[in-house]
Amino acid sequence: MKKTILMLSTLLFIVCLNTGAWAHHAAVGMATADAGPIKTIPASTLKQGSFGFDIQAEYIDLKRFSDEELLGFAAAGNDVHSIDSVRHLFLSMGYGLTNDLTLGLKLPYVSLKNIRASHAEEPEEVHNHGNSSGLGDLSIVARYRFIRAADQGFEAALIGGIKAPTGETNVSDPDGERFETEHQPGSGSWDPIIGLAATKKIGNVSLDGNILYMIATKGSQETDLGDTLNLNVAVSWRAIQKEVSVDLVLEANAEWKQKQKIGGVRDDNSGDTLLLLSPGLRLAFKNNMMAYVSAGFPVVQNLNGIQTETRTRTLFGFAVGF
C-alpha cells in the first residue's frame, strides 16, 4: 500500500513539474486578465490541452485545551482530545480535456501537532500522543461548465469527483498506539464529491460562489468521518493591472461537518458549523504565474460537544500554467 501511495505521489509530482499548473481552486482560470478568488471554486475552466500546477500550504491554529481542562472533562465523564494545529501541503494539477471540461488532481500531506487526550476511564491522566503526519487522500475532481454567457460575464459549472483512500491510516504515537481515524492522514474510505460553481464578471470585479458536498463512507477502523458541506462566496477586485497585477479578495468560507460514527456509534464530540471571513491577496504575473495569500478568521463557530476551536486559518501558494 505504501509503495502504491509513493508511486501515485511521485507520478503526480513529476507530471506537475513537467506540465505546469492550476492555482488552488481558482487556478483553473490561470489567465491574468481578470480578478479571481483564492479558496472559492470558480466556474471557469482550463482551455483544451492546457495544464496547471499549484502548490499550497495551509496552517490552522487551534485553541488547545490545557491539561487541567482535559482532566476536568475526564472527571465529568467525557473522552476529549486536543490538537495544537493542523498543517496541510497540497499538490494540485489540472488539465483541460475540452474548453468546458477540466480534470483536477489534489494530493495533500497532512500534519497534526501535539495530540493529547483524556478519558473518563482514566480521569487522572492526560495522554500525550505527539504528532501524526503523512500522505493524505487523493481527490480526483471534474468541473463541467454548462453555461458560458460571455456577453453577460456569467459562467456556471457542475462539479463531481471522488476522494480515494490513498492516505496513510496506520500512523502510531511514540508508544506504538495507533491513532484513531480522525487523527490519521488518510480516511480509508471512498467519498463521492458533488457540487456547483458560478462566476459573474463585472468590469474589474469577479463574484464567485460554490457549494460542495462530500459523502463520507465507512473507512479505516470502522469509522465514518461524517459528510461535509462547504459553501464559499468571494468578491475579487483587480486593483492594479500591470506587469504584476494585484487582486484584492474577500471571501466567506462556511463548512458544516456531520458527527462521525465509530463502529456505528455516533461521537457527540464531533461535527461542527464554521464560518470564516477571509481577506486575501493575489499577484498575477504576465508569464502565467501566480502567488496568493489568505487569512481566515472565524465569525461563527458552533461545535458539537467538547472540541478545540479554530483561532485562524492561513494559506499561501504559488501556481503556474500553460
Q: Which domains does the chain have, with CATH numbers?
A: 2-321 (2.40.128.130)
The pair phi, psi for residue 270, each rounded to 5°, is -150, 165
The whole-number pLDDT of residue 3 equals 45
Query: How does strand 51-63 pair with strand 228-240?
Result: unpaired
Report the C-alpha gap between 277 and 234 in whole angstroms.
Answer: 10
Report the C-alpha gap between 135 and 109 in whole angstroms.
Answer: 4
The whole-number pLDDT of residue 83 equals 98
What length does the chain have? 322
The whole-number pLDDT of residue 91 equals 98
Contact 104, 94 (CB under 8 A): yes
Contacts of residue 71, Cβ cutoff 8 Å, sequence gap at least 6: 118, 123, 124, 126
Q: Which residues of the chain are under the pLDDT cut of 50?
A: 1-32
